[in-house]
Amino acid sequence: MHARADASANSVSSWPEDIFAILQRFDVRQVPYVPDAGHSQLIARVLGEPSMRGIALTTEEEGVALLLGAWAGGQRGVLLMQSSGVGNCINMLSLTQIFRFPFLALVTMRGEWGEFNPWQVPMGTSTQGVLELAGVRVLRASHPDEVREVMEAAAGQAYDACTPTAVLLSQRLIGTKVFVK
Amino acid sequence: MSKANLLNRRQVVASLLADRGDAIAVGGLGASTYDIAAAGDHARNLYLWGAMGGAVMIGLGLALAQPKLPVVVITGDGEMLMGMGSLATVGLQKPKNLCIIVLDNESYGETGGQMSHTAAAADLVGVARACGIADSRALTTLAEIEAFAATLRDVSVGPRFANIKIDAANLERVLSNRDGMFIPDPPAWRARLPADLEFLPSGLVAPQQKP
C-alpha cells in the first residue's frame, strides 16, 4: 500500500476558496461530484455549506443528467470531476445541446504535467478535444491568481448565456500528485 | 412475443398517471416516453428520446430542487440497466418525493426485441433495495398498480422503486408534439424545460429583463 501525499489535500490553497465564493455568488445549489484529490478542499467546503448539496456519484455522466433535472426544477448546479471522468460523460453531454441548459463542469487535470501514472495520460491528453467535440466550451486556469477570473467568465457564460462550459484546472495548478511508501 | 398474463404497458402508465395531480413525470428513452405521451400530454412531462441511462438522475435533480413536488420517473429495463449506478446515488440522497417505476419487458424493444438481463438474471427490485431504496417492490397486477398510483402524490414516503413486468408487444409510437427541444408557447429563456415550472434561482432575473 502507498500512502498518498498531495499538496492540495494537505494544505489550504486559496484558489478553491475563490471557486467556492463564485459558486455561492451564483447561487449554485447542487454540486454532483466524483471525488478527486484536486477537488478535495472544494468538496469539503460544499459539504459543509447548508445552502449547497454535495451529491456523490457513481460515474460522472450521472452528474450531467442531474444538472438538467436541477435546472428543470429551478436550481443551478456544477459538476466536479477529474479529467478521466470526462470520457464517461460523452453521450450524456448530448443533453446540453438538446435542452441548452446552463451546464458547468470543473475538471481537475491529470496526465499533462509531471504525471507519474501513465494510465492518466491518454484521457488527460484528449480531455479538451473530447469536450469541444461534444459542444462544450473549454476555459483553462493554470495559475492560482487566474482562477478567480476564469471562474467568473465560465460561470457568467454558463449561467447567464446557457453556454455549456468546462473549466480545466491544470495539473500545474493543482500540483503533481506524489505517491510515497 | 406477447404473453397473455402480462400487463399492457399503456394501461399501466395510464393508471399510474390518471390522478397525478401536480406530479412531474420523466419518461426514459424509448417506449416509456411514448407511454407517457399516450396517457395524455401534460406540461409537467419531460420526454427523453436519448441520453440512455439518465432518466433517474434527471428525476433526482428535479426531486432535490423541488422537494414538495412528487417526481415520477417511468423508464424501461434497458434504460435502467444502463444507469444502474444512479440507484446507488438515489439510495444515498434518499429524496422523499422521488418514485422510480420500471416497465420491464425483459427486452430491448426499440432495437428488435433482443433479450435484456432482466429476462434471465438481473433482479432490479433486489438491486434497488440493496442500493438503499428500502421501499422497492414488484407490482404484478392492475389492482396493485392502482393502489400504488393512489399514493403517487405522497412526498413523504420516498424514495420508492417499483418494477412492473409488462407484455413485450411493440406498440404504435405515440410522440408528443414536443420533446426536449420543442415546447409550445414557451418563455423564450426557458424554452426546453417542463413548461409550467417557472422557478428561478433566487436573486436572478430572466435574461430578457436585463438592461
How many Cα atoms occupy the beta-carbon half-sphere of B144 within 13 Å?
10
User: Are the C-beta atoms of residues A141 and A151 closer than 8 Å to each other?
Assistant: yes
Q: How far apart (Å, rounded) are the C-alpha atoms in residues B158 and B123?
A: 20
Q: Give the count of beta carbons closer than 10 Å to the beta carbon of residue B34.
A: 22
Chain B residues with CB under 8 Å of A73 CB are 61-66, 69, 197, 199
Spell out the per-residue pLDDT of chain A, length 181, in tens: 344 444 444 567 899 999 999 999 999 999 999 999 999 999 999 999 999 999 999 999 999 999 999 998 889 999 999 999 999 999 999 999 988 889 999 999 999 999 999 999 999 999 999 999 999 999 999 999 999 999 999 999 999 999 999 999 999 999 866 555 5
What's the pLDDT at B6?
Answer: 87
Helices (H), A26-143: 40-47, 60-72, 83-86, 94-99, 121-133
* B48: nearest Cα among B117, B116, B93, B110: B110
ipTM: 0.92
What's the pLDDT at A178?
Answer: 58
Paired residues of A11 in beta bridges: none
Q: How many domains does chain A contain in total?
A: 1
> Can you read off the three cell numbers belonging to residue A9?
489535500
Q: How many domains does chain B contain in total?
A: 1
CATH of the domain at A58: 3.40.50.970
> Can you read off the three cell numbers belonging to residue B181?
427541444
Q: Does A27 contact chain B (CB < 8 Å)? A: yes
B29 domain residue, yes or no: yes
Q: How far is A170 from chain B (nearest CA, A)?
A: 28
Which domain range does residue A161 map to? Answer: 3-180
Question: What is the interface size between A and B, counted as CB pairs within 8 Å?
Answer: 128
B47 domain residue, yes or no: yes
> Can you read off the three cell numbers belonging to residue B86?
444512479
Q: How far apart (Å, rounded) are the C-alpha atoms in residues A11 and A140?
A: 23
How many residues comprise chain A? 181
pTM as predicted: 0.89
Which domain range does residue B70 map to? Answer: 9-181
CATH of the domain at B71: 3.40.50.970
Q: How far apart (Å, rounded) are the C-alpha atoms in residues A101 and B192?
A: 8
Task: Give me the residue from A27, A29, A73 closest to B197, CB to CB.
Answer: A73
pLDDT digits 0-9 by tens, B23-48: 999 999 889 998 998 998 888 888 88
Name the residue with higher pLDDT: A109 or B208: A109
Q: How far apart (Å, rounded) are the C-alpha atoms in residues A100 and B209?
A: 19
